[in-house]
Amino acid sequence: MNDTPHIQLKGVKKRFGSKLVLDGVDLTIRRGESVVIIGGSGTGKSVTLKCVLGILRADEGSIHVAGEDVTRASGSKRDAYLRKFGMLFQGGALFDSLSIWENVAFGLIQGRGLPRKQARETAIEKLAMVGLSADIANLSPAELSGGMQKRVGLARAIAANPEILFFDEPTTGLDPIMADVINKLIASTVRDLGVTAVSITHDMVSARRISSRIAMLYKGRIIWDGPTDSIDNSGNPYVDQFIRGSAEGPIRMEVRS
């Protein structure tokens, strides 16, 4: 049972109009792993996550979650496999018409039909897990700072006890200290809950902190994949250039002069 990969992508291709964004992504993620996908802007990191979640539909290839083919899942089958997931969005993506606790409890109330009172208790519990007090439960998202919104987003992602957590650029837009706080929070959450985690980022500090394995996406393909410890000795010039953050190397930025 535990030998089946938790998430498996095989030859996933996705094109938007004439632009090929994913050109055959192969990636296998085992249960309990924390994988970070690195890569420059526009290399298809977000698209990869959205294909797994069925927000975007892959044109070719297959996606399996816990051994089940979900490539073309729809309706109630899709709802069922989406219950395994929790996702932290880049901007938090909190619902601004709802209060903080209603945001955290949203999946419990709308998705699972839990009574509001019980859902509120769970929401406050989850807020405490990400270091937020019950005082802010009735505020609206706009009243919180960026870092706090990220925490609320994390609380919402873990509210329904998912098996798999997705993090989309968890540290983008935060100051270095808050970024470190969020990194630690993610690492401890993943460890404590025993979930499988997939993050996408171009922040190498964050990638090293939260991952056990790193995969690099370049031009719609995974060009390197290995344990986090070995990334400095990857022997791959693309990876080396990326982690050095240098303009010199095989990766050419498409900058028009």
Q: Cβ 96 to another protein, closest distance in Å?
A: 8
In angstroms, give the least distance from the CB of 156 to another protein: 8
Q: How far is the CB of 111 from another protein (least distance, A)?
A: 4
Of 83 and 221, which has the nearer Cβ to another protein?
A: 83
Nearest approach, Cβ of 192 to another protein (angstroms)?
Answer: 21
Q: Which is nearer to another protein, 82 or 231 (CB)?
A: 82
| Least Cβ distance, residue 255 to another protein (angstroms) | 20
Measured from the CB atom, is 28 or 90 closer to another protein?
90
**Residue placing its CB nearer to another protein in the complex, 166 or 224:** 166
Can you give the binding site for another protein, defined by CB under 8 A? Answer: 50, 53-55, 79, 82-83, 85-87, 89-91, 93-96, 106-107, 110-112, 156, 160, 166
For another protein, the closer of residues 9 and 94 by Cβ is 94
Which amino acid belongs to residue 197? A
